[in-house]
Structure 1
Amino acid sequence: MASDKAERLLNLYIMLLAQTRFVSKQDIRRAHYADYPDTERGDEAFEKAFERDKDDLRELGVVIEVGSLDAFFDDEPGYRISTDTSALPEIRFEADEAAVLGIAARAWEQATLARRTTEAMRKLTAQGVEVDSARLDLVPPSLRAEEPAFDAFWDATQKRRVVTFDYKRPGEQPRKRRLQPWGVVRSSGRWYVVGHDVDRDAERVFRLSRVQGRVSGVGKAGAYDVPPGTDVSAIAANLAPRTPDVEATVLVRQRAGVGLRRRASRVEEDVAGPDEESGWDRLVITGPGSDLAGEVLTYGASVVVEAPEELRADVLARLQAILEQEGVTR
């Protein structure tokens, strides 16, 4: 699946970035590829997957260094990613690949998404490979999904397990629903789960903020298959109302906000910012209001909204909701 590929690329990037020296191909295979079924079929399958993954990362602008494992012998090459030359640019994948990468980047510190990479790090350390977690500052965690149900639905999509939950529409009482979740996706500033409603025998989309109480797994993992060609992002986008476009003025730290800079209609460099930890630029961007609010939040403290006031208030309200969920008072 495309989502497996996207997850594997991100984890390979993080694993190679954390190395202080060159790592052999076989060490990488044992530490990273053993958990992916399509590379367990033998040497040829692994070689093809590894070469393809390296090419895909290089197409994204990642510099993979190749060097000798031994200063006196150069017969076996090793691999690593240098922190001096590597920083992920704007990533362009298919819809489901982009969703996986976006979620993983936003929630790196959550164990549900970091498990495979953490296990790979442990295996490399056991093999005597030096790992420096400080080198992962290039891919820091950002804001977590604010809905409490996010982790449960994400886990169910990975395990292909049916879930039950109470769902409350505006003006109605909560109702019990049974769902085969296909994917979790963000659309128009909201998180949704897309899947097959078991009781209604139909495709459905549920907004996570309307889920009441606990999400419970039912039955065994691997209980169903996602229909071929399913695009959960497109399904959610079709059902989520699109807000009108707004022109926004934002302050962005220098050397940050690559995605915003690519589509800015105007850039004013070296302006006064809210702090002096770095330089700041002022950007003018246009897009749906709710989408812009969600996008700004992914950059954390590196982006500040100046105008319009409605967008600024939306961002502040979402930040306040996250603080309240975490039990932080101001």
Structure 2
Amino acid sequence: MSRKSERLVNLTIALLATERWITKSEIYRTVDGYSGEVDAKERMFERDKEDLRNLGIDIEVGTFDPLFEDEVGYKIRPEKYQLHLETLSPAQLALLASATQAWHGAVLNSQASSALAKLQSLGIKSDADGIPTLENPLRISDTNLVKVIDSIADRRTISFGYRNAENQSEQRVLEPFGVGTKNGHWYVAGRDLDKSSVRLFRLDRIDAEVKEQGKANSFTIPPDFAMNSLLASKRKDKTAIVDIRVNKGFKLRKHGKVLSSDTEWDRCEISFSDFSEFIADVLWHRDDAKIVEPQSAIDLLLENLSTI
């Protein structure tokens, strides 16, 4: 992991754990990675704030007493951080956007402990116990997520193998702009150089090692790019007919409508945007949900069952 990514994680930890506003001078003293002259630290901090915003992390600005001209301070509210993350993936967690995991020893336990100790030494109370806990820690062996985060921070192009809707692997070349979650899955968004447009890619469908290409600072992130808006616009343009047991399958039902019913089953039309996500939802409901059509969804379900 690059030094910049470590600094971003440490900054997120410090701002998330504090009970009060932390000034820039305190940030420079407590967060590892800020060095050099004051002007250099200022530029570094401004870039870091922009990078965190691209990752969906909202840094609030305020003062200790609005009646006096105090130095402004910064913090991240745990409840807003939790809101931005929405539903977390059961398998993977992006390193930077989940800085709370560092408190619980996933990857950067020593840096987290050091940051907390520095905050305490300055008399800054920590609210670390109130940070939203995540049930599924990051797999340290999963380097692709770390590489994606590093590439966003360094503005470096990446390439990777990606399984499309037909489960065929395709090579993609991407200028990564941001990462985020939707319906329990992590996505990376950026400019697909082959398609010449901004695209979303689900991280758990990357089937080969992410490789960095070219030099750092090879592209700029558009000022109007917003990961949350891009995820919200993901269209549910596919449908399937599913039999769902009566009074069961509420996660599936919220994306569809009932077509017919009997004493045991409701036949529902379910809308979705991604076949793999849909199959995962059906499998999660075990014998309370059965795909009726299309046949392609049934085949993909059977293929997934054969690998369990």
TM-score of the pair, normalised by structure 2: 0.48
TM-score of the pair, normalised by structure 1: 0.45
